[in-house]
Chain A
Amino acid sequence: MASRGNPSSTINANMTPMIDVTFLLIVFFVVVSQIVDRDAVSMDLPSPDNAVASVAEMQNRVVVNIVPAGDGEVSHVVVGGHVVSMNALDELTTIVKTRLQGGATEVHLRADRASKYIFIHEVIEAIRKVGTTPRLQLVIDGKQE
């Protein structure tokens, strides 16, 4: 009661909601940073019946995205943020080689279900030119049980 009449002593910031909101924001950004896969380009992945596959490893991988251009054609390849033309796949070999030397252990190949195999094979051959024996993972849609 000693403080009655002194306005400055009545201002009490309630910290509880602020801490609640702060923790919610922390959780939100941690979760979002794990969900958003900056390596993956949006495309319609194949989903074979009774797939012999396991959940794709997210760490230590190089993701090679073969970007579709419609009607079975392919426009370009995206790997680690680099855009590689289908006419310059030697560049893809160099990038994959650098990433494998930098600690990556697997190469993940993402291609649209409708893309023609002739283009996919060109990319597989470019990866094969890396020289070592990289383990290739063919990425499929995991939604189907």
Chain B
Amino acid sequence: MGLNLTSMIDVVFLLLIYFMVATEFKTAEESSPMDLPAQHDGRSLMFDNEPLVILVESSGDGPHDLRIQLEGPWDDIESVSGLTQFLRANKINEFHVTGLFKDTHPVLVTPTEGARWEHALATYNAVALAQYTNITLAEPVTKPDVLQ
């Protein structure tokens, strides 16, 4: 009495296909949510208090080749991780009541006209990583003096 291997091979191939497909789904695209305020007849966005403006400029083609400058009397920011650290360090919460910004403080990520999308998005992500909730990708600016 010979063992019939055909059915077993069928089932094994089906399982193989299933796991290949499941693995493919795990590495699918991801997305980062952004609230998009509706436009009101050309009026610019209104902020309750003065927003924190973050200027972004690409200095090369690599993912980390960008320059970040905060508008105002702030020290230079070296990298996107440095920006996250700065924002976390200055956030008001129950452990840090002397912080400068609430997590709802408006943050305006303002790339220059020539900035690469990956650099604008990396900066946006760095602010989101510091758990600020009111982040806006603003209108691009021409290269400001601070980034010359």
Contacts and interface: CB of A to CB of B under 8 A. Distances in A.
A129 B43 CA distance: 12
B97 interface: no
A111 B37 CA distance: 21
Contact of B34 (A16, A137, A143): A137
A89 to B, nearest CB: 13
A14 to B, nearest CB: 11
Interface extent on A, as a size class?
A: 35 or more
Interface string A25-64: 0011001000100001000011111111111110000000
Given A50-B129, A128-B37, A135-B36, A117 B31 contact: no
Interface string B107-147: 00001111111111110111011000000010110000000
B21 interface: yes
Interface string A92-113: 0000000000000001101111
A118 B115 CA distance: 8
A48 B33 contact: no
Contacts of A69: none
Contact of A128 (B24, B38, B121, B129): B38
Given A46-B122, A111-B117, A128-B39, A139 B31 contact: yes
Interface stretch (B10-18, B46-54, B85-93): B10-18
Given A72-B114, A118-B113, A134 B34 contact: no
B31 A48 contact: no
Contact of B117 (A24, A31, A40, A116): A116
A114 B61 contact: yes
A46 B120 CA distance: 10
6 contacts: A23-B14, A51-B30, A120-B120, A128-B39, A135-B36, A136-B34
